[in-house]
Amino acid sequence: MSRGYGLAALLEATARRVPGNVAVSVPGGKQLTYAELDTLTSRLRDRLVALGVRPGDRVGLRLHKSIDSVIALFGALKAGAAYVPVDAESPAARGAFILNDCQVRALVTERGLEAALTEELRQLGAAPAVIALDEHEHDVALAGELETRQQADPAPEVPTAEVGPDDLAYILYTSGSTGKPKGVVLTHGNALSFIDWCSEIYQPHEADAFSSHAPFHFDLSILDIYVPVKHGARLVLIGEALGKDPNRLAATIASEGITAWYSTPSILSLLALYGKLDRYDYSRLRIVNFAGEVFPVPQFKTVRAIWTAPRFYNLYGPTETNVCTYYEVPQDDSWKTMDTFPIGLICEPNRGRVVDEEGKDVPLGEPGELVVWGPNVMRGYWNLPEQNSKAFLVDAEGLPWYHTGDIVTQDAQGQYTYRGRRDRMVKRRGYRVELGEIEAGLARHPDIREVAVISVPDAESGVKIAAFISCQAGASLTIVALKKASVQALPPYMIPDVFSVVEALPRTSTNKVDLQALKTRLGGA
Amino acid sequence: MDNMRDAVRHFILENFLPGEDAKNLADDTELKESGILDSLSTLKLVTFLEERFGVEFEANDLEAGNLSSIANIERLVESKRAGRS
């Protein structure tokens, strides 16, 4: 443990060095300097400690993207806690499951989300301390809220907690195949290793403006938030509504002078298709990162045709490792003949291997599972000892290599190319989706007897998700009703594209659901 | 020209509710809260409406309840046409 180490220390050091630089801004709204951000996050730290938060605790955040949400996560970090961001746009029950699973001591949320969430938490027997804010995308509601509380009940100033590399920084929940989200536990050491790598590759400077498009519960946010904070650059927050509106987004990237963009390929495709990008000046844009799913080369072409100057990076890595391989798209035209971009080279000092089902290295060029060891790799899943033992391949020297589940090949230059999955996980709009979690969510509907979910490749969106459903005796469900049931049970990115109501699910001779038969049925339909 | 409501209904059924019976998508069926129209399907629908009915939407046309049902979509398109001529 050393003084000045950790994610909060990045903010404190930058606030001392360049207090007047703009730290965070909202297009068309407010902005905070580093000095202001440092002060407000310290006030929240004091309040959280007064509410009982101690180093090693968890603090839940269920907030829309806002300056408040940035203050909230740094406030938690300064208190020595790990922050746990949950999606404000997903069902409250899912958020409550997550916050109860990791036993948050305190929760920062919005008044509009508070009642449903605390009710769900109460049903689970959890009652964390709550700070609820007026939702205000363009303003800073936390400042007023903290001030009001300070008047009524002063919280003494406390020092920022000292942390070390192995202390928890945040827990990001991803889709779980058993139907329950699982928490990926990441430390300050994990995050800083990745931020150092980014600093090396991107050479960020104070004049940079980094986009924050991904929500904070998505691991893309780690680059977005902490790289500019380390370097005294500006973080430009893209709210949920703006983030989905390619027309306004295209204008915003130009008008905010964003220099480093990071999003899923789906968003870049939408920008190219609907953003009318040729209307604007993007001369400041120097870096475009994409991650989360495969970017089909033809769709990349439409983006590159307009954004000719920036360097494009294909970043790869599950939440468990954050980015662990990278590929820079060549600046000449040589990429045009590729079918698909490689995921590239391992991010040093991490190491990768390609192994067979027994964990033995496959010959160079042969397909196998990518396993990764190094400082980026998570400590484990929260409270899931069984999944933890399956998640790692422990080698003869005792090093734990994380099983990505992704099938790759490696070429003689060391570059990896993604070939597919070894299980029932798919990527949709960059999100990990376990088909089993969709099944479990829909199966809770009282009129549904059985449900099976499959995915098939789709030229336009990459993957199409289809749900086959049989109803309880005497019940019937329309497709409209099934859509509605999905909205209530699942995050938006998990809602199936196609529903099919069947008498009974086809079974194999061993009485398992015949997923292959369903795929054939979908293909023939 | 075809009935506008039926043209919109047909587009929504074909693109966002494949396999659904037309009778289950009424003129007043809620499209947003029911998850039928999300951000991506809204973009597709708007592009369809602009091309098919020769109108152009502003960002604020698409706010609030303007796309919340087939009946409201028809009202929106009609008002854009009236404003243009």
Spatial separation of the C-alpha atoms in residues A436 and A386, rounded to whole Å: 18
Say how many CB pairs under 8 Å bridge A and B. Answer: 46
Which residues of A touch chain B, with CB atoms under 8 Å apart?
244-248, 270, 274, 478-480, 483-484, 486-487, 492, 495, 497-500, 525
Structure tokens at A225: 């938030």
Q: Are strands A425-428 and A400-410 parallel, antiparallel or unpaired?
A: unpaired
C-beta atoms of B39 and A478 within 8 A: no
Q: Are A381 and A185 in contact (CB under 8 A)?
A: yes
Other beta carbons within 10 angstroms of residue A270's beta carbon come to 24
Q: Are A228 and A208 in contact (CB under 8 A)?
A: yes
Helical H segments across A53-187, by residue range: 67-78, 92-101, 111-123, 141-152
Contact list, B35 vs chain A (CB under 8 Å): 483-484, 486-487, 492, 495
Chain A residue with minimum CA distance to B36: A483
Helix (H) or strand (E) holding A42: helix A34-50
R_g of chain B computed on alpha carbons: 12
| Cβ within 8 Å of residue A47, ≥6 positions away | A75, A131, A146, A149, A150, A155
Structure tokens at A338: 């590729």
The nearest CA of chain A is from the CA of B6 a distance in Å of: 17
R_g of chain A computed on alpha carbons: 23
- Pick B39's closest partner by Cβ from A244, A487, A497: A244
- Pick B20's closest partner by Cβ from A247, A478, A525: A478
ipTM surpassing 0.85, yes or no?
yes
The nearest CA of chain B is from the CA of A211 a distance in Å of: 20
C-beta atoms of B34 and A480 within 8 A: yes
The nearest CA of chain B is from the CA of A488 a distance in Å of: 9
Other beta carbons within 10 angstroms of residue A255's beta carbon come to 12
C-beta atoms of B19 and A498 within 8 A: yes
Q: Name the nearest CA neighbour of A310 among A253, A353, A364, A370.
A: A253
B39 touches chain A (CB under 8 A): yes
C-beta atoms of A480 and B33 within 8 A: no
User: For chain A, how far is it from start to end, CA to CA, in angstroms?
Assistant: 61
Structure tokens at A100: 């109860």
Single-letter amino acid code for the residue at A35:
A
C-beta atoms of B19 and A499 within 8 A: yes
Spatial separation of the C-alpha atoms in residues A18 and A20, rounded to whole Å: 6
Q: What DSSP line would sit under B31-84, residue for residue?
A: STTTTSS-HHHHHHHHHHHHHHHT----GGGGSTTTTSSHHHHHHHHHHHHHHH
Single-letter amino acid code for the residue at A321:
T
B22 touches chain A (CB under 8 A): no
Structure tokens at A120: 């769900």
Contact list, A495 vs chain B (CB under 8 Å): 35, 38
- Pick B34's closest partner by Cβ from A245, A248, A484: A484
**Dihedral sign computed on CA atoms, order B40, B43, B46, B50:** negative
Q: Name the nearest CA neighbour of B1 among B85, B83, B81.
A: B81
A297: helix, strand or coil:
helix
Other beta carbons within 10 angstroms of residue A508's beta carbon come to 11
**pLDDT tens-digit profile of B8-47?**
999 999 999 999 999 999 999 999 888 899 888 998 999 9
- What does each C-alpha distance from A494 to A89, A212, A436, A439, A466 come to in angstroms? 12, 22, 11, 10, 11
Chain A residue with minimum CA distance to B38: A492
Structure tokens at A356: 């067979």
Helix (H) or strand (E) holding A428: strand A425-428
ω before A246 within 30° of 0 (cis)?
no
Angle between helices A220-231 and A7-17 (to 10 degrees): 30
User: For every one of its 525 residues, what pLDDT tens digit does chain A have, with 9 covering 90 and above?
Assistant: 446 999 999 999 999 999 999 999 999 889 999 999 999 999 999 999 999 999 999 999 999 999 999 999 999 999 999 999 999 999 999 999 999 999 999 999 999 999 999 999 999 999 999 999 987 766 789 999 999 999 999 999 999 999 999 999 999 999 988 889 999 999 999 999 999 999 999 999 999 999 999 999 999 999 999 999 999 999 999 999 999 999 999 999 999 999 999 999 999 999 998 898 999 999 999 999 999 988 888 889 989 999 999 999 999 999 999 999 999 999 999 999 888 899 999 999 999 999 999 999 999 999 999 999 999 999 999 999 999 999 999 999 999 999 999 999 999 999 999 998 888 899 998 899 999 999 999 999 999 999 999 999 887 778 899 999 999 999 999 999 999 999 999 999 999 999 999 999 998 887 788 988 998 888 754
| Cβ within 8 Å of residue A264, ≥6 positions away | A214, A220, A290, A291, A292, A293, A429, A430
DSSP-derived secondary structure letter, A414: S
Beta strands of A120-249 (E only): which ranges? 129-133, 168-174, 182-187, 209-212, 234-237
